[in-house]
Structure 1
Amino acid sequence: MARIRLSRLPGDRVLVTEDDAAREIALGDLPRLVREREAAAPRWVWDDTARWYPPLLAAGVRVERCHDLRLCRRLLARAPAVDPGLLRGEETRLWDTLGPVVASDPVLFGAADSADHLRADVEDARQLAAVAASPEAARLGLLLAAESAGALAAAEMTHAGVPWSIEVHEALLVDQLGPRPPRGAPPRLLAACADDVRRHLGAPGLNPDSHPELLAALRRAGLDVADTRASTLQRLDHPVAEPLLRYKKLAHLFHTNGWAWLDEWVRDGRFRPSYQPAGSVTGRWSSNGGGALSFPAQVRPAAVADDGWVLVVADVAQLEPRVLAGMSGDRELARAARGADLYQGMVDAGAVASRQHAKLGLLGAMYGATSGESGRMVADLTRRYPQAFGLVEAAARAGERGQAVRTLLGRGCPPLGASWDESPDAPATDLADQDRRRRAHGRFTRNFVVQGTGAEWALCWIADLRNRLWRLGGDGPVEARAHLVFFLHDEVVVHAPADLADAVAADVTAAATAAGRLLFREMADDFPLSVSVVRSYADAGKPGT
């Protein structure tokens, strides 16, 4: 497979390097070059997908494969199976500090910043050499390809956007908050709710958004509360509880997804969030804006497919326990995972008495529960599933010792730090603090290996799915065909012509199966999906959908 490396040059120029040949082209000619070469399915190598790909998508050009040097360098620099010395050389300081471009507002070239003119061919050679020298080269190669494919999917989702009805969203706001208020003023129904809170507490000047003020007013009213969380307020036997809970709900809607959110994030009938692939150390995505990874139920009715189109929504059941079964090679747990409900599979196998016990035990193992009913279940299930439970226990012990742990494909966990193993002559209070830090890091590494491998499975899922969707055919660019519009850890949403709904649902399921086989080979257990074909995202998962 050809690797075509693109480097930015001053003066709206691009250096194109392939094999030993290099040439310069004008920036304006890049979409034509990519369109012509894409028929041979090369791998495009560039510093940051969020910088290069959006202008290509705007020109109607889709890329099948890329290698994102920024993302892959971060991954390789932390991978235990990679010699970091092989990543050092020309411009490495600039590569190490290169940050992500916000995909919703890409800037392709900087005027003077040397970090905007890095040589992709030089860095690509370093990364290829580092992978080739690793004893885990095959796994790392798959991880780099999946990470880069995720960056392509993120750029495409931002470009296409989630179909969004401003009319439905505004109707929701008016119904719950009242008419849109002047800038800087609260909406009418929210203000009325705040007045009810003040009246019940006898605090006419109270600002309900101020945690210290609200806590003090509650205590003056004789309510002994430690915080103002919803769970705490729900237990109060006082007339202020109901309006205060309602105020918190409405205030969250107003400040998080109110009119200001609509103005900033919804354009031309599309919500266009800014995703950050590998935004967390486990490889899970985060969001640079718009709250893409936390769609509140209050506004989901506004996510409505275009006329003649549908949303195909799919989420996988119990992803991390299934990943643990596959990566540990525990055949007993893998057998329990062959079905829609892994926890019930454990009950049917006689491992536990109830589904709740199965859930408590597995989650306790992955998150480090040592006491109570969850801790007892962990002890019992360790004897039944020694490989699965032994894997997370070994990761925890390694983390406590400050040793490196990694995911199935080789993503490395951040180190505990240089200070945890200070001199044994340190004061007792320092030693106690070090011990707490060791245990906390052990709990983190225990979950890191599973959550990180789950993120790898999900990347393989969407990487395969985006190509399957493209092969369904159609005319025009990405957004004119069936395409991904949303991804959250273990859930995807596809916007598709209604007549392709069944084909899309089949592809979503086939891609999940393929991801399991790719990562876990003969140990591949089921990754059953809940699939809904709906007009509105709010209807996903409801009976009859």
Structure 2
Amino acid sequence: MTTSQRLSPPVTFGGALVLGRDGAAALVDAEGGLLAAREDVAGHLAGAGRGGRWVVWTARSVSALLDGPAPTAALDRTWDLAEVHRLLHGGSAAEPGRVWAAAHDLDTAGLPVAPSGDLFDLLAEEPDADLLVLPDGHLRPSVLAWADTDERCAALARAGLQVARWQHAQVAERGRRALLTACSESAAAVLCVELERTGLPIDRPALDRLLTAAAGPEPRSVEDELSARQARDAPVLAAVPGAGRIDLRNPAGVRRLLSLAGVEVSSTRKWVLEAHREAHPVVPAILAWRKAERVATTYGWRWRREHVGADDRLRGAWSAADGAAGRMTAQAGLHNLPAELRPAVAAAPGHVLVRADLGQIEPRVLAAVASDGALAAATREPDLYAPVAERLGVERAVAKVAVLAAMYGQRSGSAGEALRGLERAYPVAMRALQAAAETGARGEPVRTFGGRTVRTDLSLGERVLRAQLGPGEAPREVEDGSGSRSAAADADQERWRDAARGRFARNAIIQGSAAELFKVWAVTARVGLRALDARIVLCLHDELIVHVPRQHAQAAVTVVEGSLQDAARWWVGDDAVRFVADLQVVQRWSDVD
């Protein structure tokens, strides 16, 4: 099979699907003709086979059809209008009205707003109840709720087909790989619905023991909560006798406590405190307190009651792409579960967990994104950093730091000289990173390997911008004597913002491209695992966790490993870059080596 064939998946539309309110539904063919309505939709999909892709406004809007195995198999091949919109335009906003406006070159600032029920709604002119497209060309607001008859569902499905054809033309202009990305992003949206429905298996007794150890027994009253809070604070305050009343949840209070102990710090961030761990016993006490406090407040008893169901599954809403580089995200703490709670993530009786973690993913993705032959050759070795270190004439640890620093825009420290060596040894990869940084610094969008638009002209929050820079690189606050910021400070602020955007863009093309590969891998594995009665239960950046019957564990390992090779071959277009994953069969997440 040629590279061109691998990168040109046949994208044809079999039709469009809309599920409305009150049981209304419509499935139309590629020409807009009605194929099925209401309860007949599921049966028609079950016998549809692997024809063209089904257009949906969002995977979530058709989630009612994702319960049974036959409809799920049919919906493996979707074209999700919201996800493709995010791919084309960046950001996270992708409601139907916005997607329609983009396809018809309409001003999104003028999107119609659904009635809010306040007094001023009386001044607004109500559109015709059966009108899908308003006189100004915009789609009516809350259109998915509007579709409460089969006829309205069919009209909305035909509108979706129209948008899909426009999107397809736009994506195709970005190349064959972008078409593959549009298809895999759509499939990832279906996977997200499945992840939310399936949930992450939890050993409830183990979770309760862990929560008790970190936060105390489950409180039955406000007094119990206050008592547990004081118990967590006590070891920290005891480390500085005579400190008096200190609020450990206020950074100013923590700095005051440290100052009383003779420890002066510029901030209370973890990396700052770690440097003073040996200075006074209060420092390790504060670091330990933070871990317990995080579990108690963010992952405490209330979190367990709200998100762990009666079937011992942790559930939260999933999104196939964030508003930045396109990584999968989840709510209910699924993406930030503390290591202290991982022993509670355990397979159900008769099952095991197959955990797969992509190895050295960033430099491997960089080799593919930049088409750097020298770096691609390094990926063929068992340890990618070893040939890089040999080429640079440095220790492996220094080579690793240098490669990662290059992708994050860090040029200082022990890796500084090695970074300059990287520019000589891998000029193609380094030029690709630098070009992205320069584009981002100008506030212009960059694109991932799969064609996703990543916007850098958004009003990135101060916290996000500061995260792109190292210590001591924040802008100065200088007044001009009148209480206003000085011109020098304004210029410094602008330089700081440009540098932060540049670093964001440099990293986004790697993280965003890695997210694309990960999703191609995940959706490929999802289909292959179905025959084993196995389900993906967690997608954590570069890590997959599969819940599988014990007797099928090794078969699941084979499917996941083979899916990675298939996904990489499709995504890159050839075998030049080697991707690897560490696979382990465990009973609990914490059993992973």
TM-score range, shorter chain: 0.7 to 0.9
Q: Is the 8 A contact 1:4 1:45 kept in 2?
A: yes
Partner residue, 1:286: 329
Question: Which residue of 206, 212, 219 corresponds with 1:174?
Answer: 212
Indicate if the aligned counterparts of 1:317 and 1:340 stay in contact, CA closer than 8 A.
no
- In 1, the alpha carbon distance for the partners of 2:459 and 2:234 equals 53
Give the Å deviation of 1:406.
Answer: 1.0
- Matched residue SS, 1:324: helix
| Identity fraction in percent | 29
Normalising by structure 1, what TM-score?
A: 0.84
Distance change (3 Å), C-alpha of 1:189 and 1:87:
closer
1:376-391 mapped onto 2 (5 Å cutoff) = 376-391=417-432
Q: Distance in 2 between matches of 1:453 and 1:231?
A: 28
Provide the rounded CA distance (Å) in 2 between the counterparts of 1:96 and 1:515: 38
Which residue in the other structure is 1:302 paired with? 344
CA contact 2:84–2:167 (8 Å) conserved in 1? no
Q: Aligned residue for 2:104?
A: 89
- Contact 1:177–1:187, Cα closer than 8 Å, also in 2: no
SS for the counterpart of 2:33 is strand
Number of the residue aligned with 2:55 = 45
Deviations 1:429-459 (A, max 9, x none): 5444333322222222211211111111111
The structure-2 alpha-carbon separation of the partners of 1:447 and 1:232, relative to structure 1 and needing over 3 Å to count, comes to closer
Task: Tell me, in whole angstroms, the C-alpha distance in 2 between the residues paired with 1:112 and 1:161.
Answer: 32
1:74–1:96 contact (8 Å) kept in structure 2? no
Alignment partners' CA distance in 2, 1:78 and 1:290: 25
What amino acid is aligned across from residue 60 of structure 2 in structure 1? A
Q: Is the 8 A contact 1:7 1:46 kept in 2?
A: yes
Query: Which stretch shows the higher mean deviation, 60-69 or 357-366?
Result: 60-69
Partner SS state of residue 522, structure 1: coil
Q: Is the 8 A contact 1:395 1:445 kept in 2?
A: yes
In the other structure, the counterpart of 1:485 is 537
- The one of 22, 27, 30 aligned to 1:16: 27
The alignment status of 1:526 with 2:575, answered yes or no, reads no
Aligned to 1:68, which of 80, 86, 89? Answer: 80
Picking from 324, 329, 341, the partner of 2:366 is 324
Structure 1 pair 95/513, CA: closer, same or farther in 2 (3 Å)? Answer: farther
**Correspondence 1:214 to 2:254:** yes
Counterpart of 2:202?
164
Residue 122 in structure 1 maps to residue 163 in structure 2: no
Matched positions, count: 507
Match of 1:361 in 2: 402
Give the superposed CA RMSD.
3.1
Q: Distance in 2 between matches of 1:13 and 1:213?
A: 58
- Aligned counterpart for 1:186 among listed residues 178, 200, 225: 225
Deviations 1:256-282 (A, max 9, x none): 222111111111111112211111411
Find the residue that maps to 1:373 and give its secondary structure: coil
Question: How far did 1:416 drift?
Answer: 2.8
| Distance change (3 Å), C-alpha of 1:438 and 1:96 | farther
Tell which deviates more after alignment, 41-50 or 6-15: 6-15
Moved more, 520-529 or 248-257: 520-529
After superposition, the C-alpha distances for 1:403-449 in whole angstroms (9 at most, x for unaligned) are 44211121112143699xxxxxx966544433332222222221121
Structure 1 position 24, deviation (Å): 8.4
Q: Are 1:503 and 2:555 counterparts?
A: yes
**Which residue pairs with 1:139 in the alignment?**
177
Change (3 A) 1:223 1:201: farther
What is the distance in 1 between the residues matched to 2:304 and 2:218? Answer: 12
Mapped pair 1:274 → 2:317: yes
One-letter amino acid matched to 1:114: V
Structure 1 position 241 matched with structure 2 position 301: no
1:461 is aligned with what amino acid?
W
Contact 1:73 1:127 in 2 (8 A): no
Paired residue secondary structure (1:293): coil
Assess if the C-alpha contact under 8 Å between 1:177 and 1:188 holds in 2: no
TM-superposed deviation, 1:484? 0.5
CA contact (8 A) 1:131 1:137 kept: no
User: 1:517 is matched with which residue?
Assistant: 569
Describe the superposition over 1:205-231 as per-residue Cα deviations: whole angstroms up to 9, x where unpaired. Answer: 333223333333433454423333344
SS in 1 for 2:450: coil
> Displacement of 1:396 after TM fit?
1.5
2:502 equivalent in structure 1? 442
Mapping of 1:437-476 within 5 angstroms? 437-470=497-530, 473=531
TM-score by length of 2: 0.78
Given that 1:466 and 1:484 are in contact with CA atoms closer than 8 Å, whether structure 2 keeps it comes out as: yes
Amino acid at match of 1:132: A
